[in-house]
Amino acid sequence: MGNSRLVTGLFSALVLIGCTAHQPVYRPIATDAFADSLEQWSALHPDKRIEPHDRHQILAIADNLLLMQRNSGGWPANRNPFRKLSDDERLQFLKDQNAQDGSFANHTMFPQIFYLSHVYLQTGDVRYRNAARKGLRLVLAAQLYNGGWTLNARPATAIAVDQAVVDTAVTLDALRFLRKVAAGLMPYGYIPFDVRREAAEAVRKGDALLLRLQQAHNSRASIWAGAYSLETSRPAAARGQPLPTLDVAVSTDIVRYLMQIQRPPAEVIRAVEGAVDWFERNSMQRWYSRLPQVAYGGPWPHSESLPSTEPLWASHYQIDTSAPVVAGASLAAQDTGVVYGPGVGAWAETLLSEAYPAWREANIRPAGAPASL
């Protein structure tokens, strides 16, 4: 009897020791949204050897995010939190915590808040919740009076109006993020309701801005420029662009965003229909077919390299004429040697062939059709 109790006691002690020594296993968290920032970091440090964290080491990654976050609530762009930091790097991040270099460039801010929110839900550690909330508060405070956002992650009150440029891609990133927060979607269900209502109001203002900023050409709806002056609402040169231009990739994403709005109002339907019409009229193939061929007596140079089965677009178009800008030149009627190259892609192809037809069928009632109950 005594031996049995001794064996039972020893077994219980071993189980207790095993449970104490066991480390919790955390679920990996999606990091796809960090891709552009990590690519830029790698380009800036081509020779730097790193020791990456395993994707299950979410606490180590989250602690790096806490260290990299500025006291303002923002993060500097193009940092890599998925690696082990040296003591010197950690010390430098501590020294830089008061820096005013928070940025929205390359999707910065939103994946950091997403990651920390997931870590909080898995661990219950309020440090991660508080850091995510601080970042969210900055996103809300950075919204300009017209409903947009600049590249700089700082309160709108600290931005000079006459110098501010609304970045269209950043504004779209912010609206996608805040729409999820407002709806309490995973992992933002822990956000207080009053903050979620504030996020919903920010989305309302931002959506209205996107609809106002849609361009027009020849009295027909066009697409969106890459940036706009806050003071005048006129198109401005976006980051990396010498002149204001229409941005096809960003505009495609805006149309997809607008198509996700449930029970779209008439102004959203008009914006989607107008942009789709513009995409259909301004593919590179359409432009080549409209250019005069009299001087050549045949096809324009390089037009044979454009496949007839897949529509392609230039990445940028002129604001006033909707003329494609390829290799730094405008494809206008007088141009004679525009080369089909890296500035051309199929950004809107699946939008036109798949997403738009499905959206139209679901949201636009044919004339004369009875209203659904």
Tens of pLDDT, residue by residue over 210-228, are 999 999 988 889 999 999 9
- Alpha-carbon span 187 to 337, nearest angstrom: 51
Give the pLDDT of residue 344: 87
Fold (topology level) of 32-213: Glycosyltransferase (1.50.10)
Domain limits, the chain? 32-213, 275-363
Whether the link from the prior residue into 187 is cis, omega within 30° of 0, is yes
Task: Give the CA distances from residue 142 to residues 161, 234, 253, in Å, rounded to whole numbers and listed in that order.
Answer: 13, 20, 22
Query: What mean pLDDT do residues 54-59 have?
Result: 96
3 pLDDT band (50/70/90 cuts)? Answer: low
16 pLDDT band (50/70/90 cuts)? Answer: very low
pLDDT at residue 248 tops 80: yes
Query: What mean pLDDT do residues 69-88 have?
Result: 97
pLDDT at residue 339 tops 80: no
Task: Report the share of the chain in percent with pLDDT over 70.
Answer: 82
Task: Yes or no: say if 233 and 164 are a contact pair by the CB < 8 Å rule.
Answer: no
pLDDT at residue 167 tops 50: yes
pLDDT at residue 303 tops 80: no
Higher pLDDT, 320 or 23: 320
Give the pLDDT of residue 240: 86
Higher pLDDT, 156 or 22: 156
20 pLDDT band (50/70/90 cuts)? Answer: very low
What is the largest distance, in Å, between two alpha-carbon atoms of the chain? 108
What would the pLDDT profile of 234-243 be if each residue is shown by its tens digit? 999 999 888 9
Q: Which residues contact 234 (CB under 8 A, 6 or more apart)?
A: 228, 244
pLDDT at residue 39 tops 60: yes
134 pLDDT band (50/70/90 cuts)? Answer: very high
329 pLDDT band (50/70/90 cuts)? Answer: low
Higher pLDDT, 233 or 2: 233
β-bridge partners, 63: none
Query: What mean pLDDT do residues 360-369 have?
Result: 76
- Residues 171-181, buried b or exposed e (16+ Cβ, 10 A)? bbbbbbbbbbb
CA 283 to chain centre: 24
- Alpha-carbon span 276 to 70, nearest angstrom: 41
- Alpha-carbon span 138 to 119, nearest angstrom: 20
pLDDT at residue 21 tops 90: no
3-state secondary structure string, the chain? Answer: CHHHHHHHHHHHHHHHHHHHHCCCCCCCCCCHHHHHHHHHHHHHCCCCCCCECCCCCHHHHHHHHHHHCCCCCCCCCCCCCCECCCHHHHHHHHHCCCCCCCECHHHCCHHHHHHHHHHHHHHCCHHHHHHHHHHHHHHHHCCCCCCCCCCECCCHHHCCHHHCEEEHHHHHHHHHHHHHHHHCCCCCCCCCHHHHHHHHHHHHHHHHHHHHHCCEECCEECCCECEEECCCCCECCCCCCCCCCEEHHHHHHHHHHHHCCCCCCHHHHHHHHHHHHHHHHCCHHHHHHHCCCCCCCCCCCCHHHCCCCCCCEECEECCCCCCEEECCEECCCCCCCCCCCCCEECCCHHHHHHHHHHHHHHHCCCCCCCCCC
Q: What is the mean pLDDT of the chain?
A: 87
Give the pLDDT of residue 306: 55
- Alpha-carbon span 329 to 212, nearest angstrom: 28
What would the pLDDT profile of 137-149 be if each residue is shown by its tens digit? 999 999 999 999 9
Give the pLDDT of residue 14: 46
370 pLDDT band (50/70/90 cuts)? Answer: low
Give the pLDDT of residue 271: 97
291 pLDDT band (50/70/90 cuts)? Answer: low
Higher pLDDT, 163 or 147: 147
pLDDT at residue 203 tops 60: yes
- Alpha-carbon span 324 to 297, nearest angstrom: 23
